[in-house]
Amino acid sequence: MSYLKAVLKKDNEQKKQALQKLIILGEKLNKDTTTDKKKLEILLQKENKTLGKEVSKPKKQTNTKNTQIQTSTKNKIESVYTVENNIVISYSKEVTKDDVLRFFELKNDSATKDVYDLKGNFPFARDTKLSIKGVDKVVVGQFKAYTLRIVIANKRNLKTSYMVDRKQIIISIDDLTVKKKVETKPNKKVINPSIKENNFIDTKNSIRTLYTQDNKVIVEFNKNISKKDVNYVTYKNKGFIDEVFDIKGKFKFAKPIKLEMNGIYKISVGQVKPNTLRLRLSNKKDLKLIYVVNKRQLVIKILNITPTSTSKAINPQYNIFKDKVIVIDPGHGKHDVGAIGPNKRYEKVVTLKVSKQLYTMLKKRGYKVYLTRHNDKFIKVRNRTLLANKKNADIFISIHANAIAKSRANKVSGIETFFLSPARSERAKRVAAKENSVDIRKMSNSTKAAFLESLNRPRITASHKLAIDVQAGLLQSVKKSYKGVNDSGVREGPFWVLVGAQMPSILVELGYMSHPIESKRLYSSKYQKLLAKGIANGIDSYFLKNP
């Protein structure tokens, strides 16, 4: 009836709206809407003469009916707007590059036009007026029933490009200088090293951590993800607009972690299902955002808020680390070079460099950290725990590298972590004998008694837990960049360097100096940094579970 009234009144705008409603209703009821689409297309042709060449007369439709019905349901355009030098076209469902039908350039004496034809129907195309500073004219029009046309007209020929991101097509004017309200130089000082190294780090589940940085929310994963693992919806909720991301995966710190960002009223994180983490951004004004999935990272960028130096991830337990004392023991030193690899690669060099890297990382995370040696210095094994006991350390970590006979050097490699206990395997006995060799002595009765007494303490259980977390952190860190790193596991062993420690203590074997490939990696600064980061992450995980 509404369409007939519009025909009688000769009101084209009412005709168009009535036809659009008829098409949507017809498709929901699985009716043939071909006639209505033809009528709508003829009306749109008359309206959009200014957008480019005249539309050719529609061809006879044979098998295209079903295609058009699918297109209309999949390609409803919800909004078109500009942010700085970008034109953002938001769809109700996911789009692909195939939804960018064509791009061409028109030139005449007065202007150059970049024309984008996009698949989709936008009911408000006629009423949408866009402008970008530095561009003479931006025109939006429904070129065909299911083709939206964007025309960027300018006297100077502008370079434009586009990207497709889940439910958005973003057209960018690449060579346009946009003057930002906030200076960029101060913002380069935004990030405190402790922000990115978030202490809520989950090394066991698929989601590693979450934090905010400037005008971005960043979710990091322990494995590669795709856009299929992220579902994004937006809706109104009691005067607020909620941007909701349901992310496939589990994050064990979903409850304690708190995020905030200047310009956003509230950011909520919750594990709504065993394998679904929900991230909700609530605000009174509509947020214009884009998000990108890149291997092990999801980045959500809010385009219409100003990045500031106060945006950060708030960790309510961040201060727990300031009271934790850690003593790091770089194994060997001076004349005691430790294991020797090809081309005279010395264990004592690797252990000191990794220990120094670890020292710096832990200091930045708020720990009190001490090294048993800062340079090429020899310290007797029995004296290495003295500093830890003197400083009343919470944990003691001795850093080493392994080795094996030349006959098996090419076959044996891997990372392993030991805690103090009587050796139960030949492998553990062999490793312990190597590390204890510099301080060979016979056990007196008193020494045996002290050794056995130390094994009866609850700290052995704590040492085991620490070893598990550090081993897991090491493997996750290095395997991101290096293939073929072997997990030699967590083992028990009678190491003299751990006997005197009055706190949970472990000995880490970073790899085999005897292995030709692994020894080369151990001398690489990049690999050393990854090893240090892995140990640091393991320590974080241990203290979060055992405060």
Q: Point out which residues pair with 276 in neighbouring strands.
A: 248, 273
How does strand 312-314 pair with strand 258-260?
antiparallel
How many angstroms from the chain centroid is the CA of residue 24? 39
Q: Is 171 helix (H, G, I), strand (E, B) or coil?
A: strand
Q: Which of 291, 162, 275 shows the shortest CA–CA distance to 234?
A: 291
Alpha helices in 64-187 (DSSP H): 64-74, 184-187
Contact (Cβ atoms closer than 8 angstroms) between residue 143 and residue 44: yes
How many angstroms from the chain centroid is the CA of residue 473? 17
The string of pLDDT tens digits covering residues 401-458 is 999 988 998 999 999 998 877 545 555 455 445 554 444 444 454 554 455 455 546 7
Place of tokens 């990207």: 163
pLDDT on residue 339: 92
Residue-wise over 189-227: b if at least 16 C-beta within 10 A, else e? Answer: eeeeebbebbbbbbbebbbbbbbbbbbbbbbbbbeebee
- For residue 449, give the H/E element and its range: helix 445-455
Contact (Cβ atoms closer than 8 angstroms) between residue 474 and residue 536: no
- For residue 266, give the H/E element and its range: strand 266-273
pLDDT on residue 179: 47
How does strand 258-260 pair with strand 415-420?
unpaired
pLDDT on residue 425: 52
Q: Which of 523, 199, 140, 107 shows the shortest CA–CA distance to 339?
A: 523
The one-letter amino acid code at 319 reads N
pLDDT in tens, the chain (547 residues): 566 666 666 677 777 777 777 777 776 666 777 777 777 777 766 665 444 443 334 444 434 333 333 334 446 888 888 877 889 888 888 888 889 988 888 888 888 999 999 999 888 888 788 889 889 999 999 988 889 999 999 998 888 888 887 788 989 888 775 444 443 343 333 334 334 345 578 888 999 999 888 888 999 999 999 989 999 888 888 788 889 999 999 998 887 788 888 888 889 999 999 999 999 998 888 888 888 888 899 999 888 776 654 334 434 444 567 789 999 999 999 999 999 999 989 999 999 999 999 999 998 888 999 999 999 999 988 788 899 999 999 999 999 999 998 899 899 999 999 887 754 555 545 544 555 444 444 445 455 445 545 554 677 888 999 999 999 999 999 998 999 899 999 988 777 777 778 889 999 999 999 999 999 999 999 999 999 999 999 998 898 888 7
How many angstroms from the chain centroid is the CA of residue 74? 29
Q: Point out which residues pair with 324 in neighbouring strands.
A: none
- Cα three-residue angle 77-139-290, rounded to 5 degrees: 45
Q: Is 127 helix (H, G, I), strand (E, B) or coil?
A: coil
Contact (Cβ atoms closer than 8 angstroms) between residue 509 and residue 467: no
The string of pLDDT tens digits covering residues 350-379 is 999 999 999 999 988 889 999 999 999 999
pLDDT on residue 426: 56
The one-letter amino acid code at 420 reads L
- For residue 477, give the H/E element and its range: helix 459-479
Q: Is 250 exposed, middle or buried (CB count within 10 Å of its CB: 0-12, 13-18, 19+)? A: middle
How does strand 395-402 pair with strand 505-512?
parallel
DSSP 373-411: -SSS----GGGHHHHHHHTT-SEEEEEEEE---GGGTTT
pLDDT on residue 424: 54
How does strand 112-119 pair with strand 86-91?
unpaired
Query: Whole-angstrom Cα distance, residue 229 to residue 206?
Result: 11
Q: Is the dihedral of CA 293, 296, 297, 298 positive or negative?
A: positive
